Amino acid sequence: MNETQFKRMKDLPTTHLLGTGAPMCAGCGGLQAINDIYDVLGEKTVFINAAGCMTLLSIYPFTPFRGSWLYTAMASAPAGAQGVRDALDILLAKKKITPDENLTTVVLAGDGSTSGMGLSATSAAIDRNLDFIYICYDNEGYGNTGQQYSSATPHAARTSTSTGSAGFSGFKKDLFAIWAAHKPTYVATVIGAEPLDLARKIETAASLTGPRFIISLSPCPTGWGFDPQETTYIGKLAVKTGIWPLKEYKDGKVSHTKNPHVRVPVEDYLLTQARFKHLFEPKRNDKLIDEIQSKVDAYWAGITP
């Protein structure tokens, strides 16, 4: 968190995963999703946490997870998960632990680690058919260090390293398509603002074996620039505008679990966040707004009802 963000956040209330651990930013969309995910997965889990925002959940010797937790460098979580899963399998084979004592191996990482420096390790883990669940909390930037752009940053968003009049000139990487192209067991997108859809997908992932992947869009009050109490509202807008499609890949097929047949204009979503303020003030940038809208329209036009 940079100095400006600290000044904005220091007097706000904090929220804690499961009531224990280090304070997190109020209104964190990633924490909103992870609380629900953990409710489904339960205590028989070991979280391999890549360096990032959620690393702040645990301050030695405490962790908010009632199961187990392991910290790794940003690019190393899938490799860490391989070591943990191998160790558990060896203990099971040697009858040092019973099947009831087995733990679900879960990677927890942000979009910077997942879409960038950790992508090759994840690809290799899928190739090895590693039996694990990978959860990416996608706040569309390197949120823990001041919201620099990542390969998950959306087009035209302003970040601390994309400060020009047009914002970020690149485009958000399609991580869902990249993961699905590897043909793992399961891939799904979720958001904390749609808890029933999220819970069903986590239950599906938990019932399967092999590489399973969850991408959670995680509205970030400090990085995106909005009041923390608006997190759920903005999350629902992301779905209603079609900017964040809720979908899953299973048995070689992609299906959408929530289709916004009457979509809200994308500018309703953009207007809620300071990172897009330059598109409307001091002069409206219709070209960029229309470009964002047209990409969303083109995506849904290609979806078979």
Helix-, strand-, coil-residue percentages of the chain, each rounded to 5? 45, 20, 40
Which amino acid, one-letter code, is at 158?
R
Cβ-proximal residues to 27 (8 Å cutoff; 6+ apart), any chain: 15, 219, 221, 227, 228, 229, 230, 231
Task: Using only the alpha carbons of the chain, give its radius of gyration.
Answer: 19
Predicted structure pTM score: 0.91
pLDDT of residue 14: 33
- Reported as a single tens digit per residue, the pLDDT across 41-84 is 999 999 999 999 998 888 777 778 888 999 999 999 999 999 99
Least confident span in 11-15, 41-45, 248-252: 11-15
Three-state SS sequence of 179-210: HHHCCCCEEEEEECCCHHHHHHHHHHHHHCCC
Q: Which residue has the tokens 């391999």?
A: 48
Pick from 183, 177, 157: nearest CA to 292 = 157
Widest Cα–Cα separation across the chain: 68
**Angle at which helices 29-41 and 231-240 pack, to 10 degrees?**
80
The distance from CA 25 to its chain's CA centroid, rounded to whole angstroms, is 16
Question: Can you tell me the distance from the alpha carbon of 45 to that of 85, in angstroms, rounded to the nearest whole number?
Answer: 11
Q: Give all domains of the chain, ordered by start, each with its CATH number.
A: 3-301 (3.40.50.970)
Q: Are strands 186-191 and 246-250 parallel, antiparallel or unpaired?
A: antiparallel
Query: What dihedral do alpha carbons 209, 215, 216, 222 form, nearest 10°?
Result: 140
**Three-state DSSP class for 73?**
coil
Mean local confidence (pLDDT), 11-30: 58
The H-assigned helical ranges of 138-285 are 175-181, 195-207, 231-240, 266-270
C-alpha dihedral sign at 234, 237, 243, 245: positive
Tens digit of each residue's pLDDT (9 = 90 or more) over 159-200: 999 999 999 999 999 999 999 999 999 999 999 999 999 999
Band (8; pLDDT cuts 50, 70, 90)? very low
Task: Identify whether the C-beta of residue 50 lies closer than 8 Å to the C-beta of residue 107.
Answer: yes
3-class DSSP state for residue 142?
A: strand
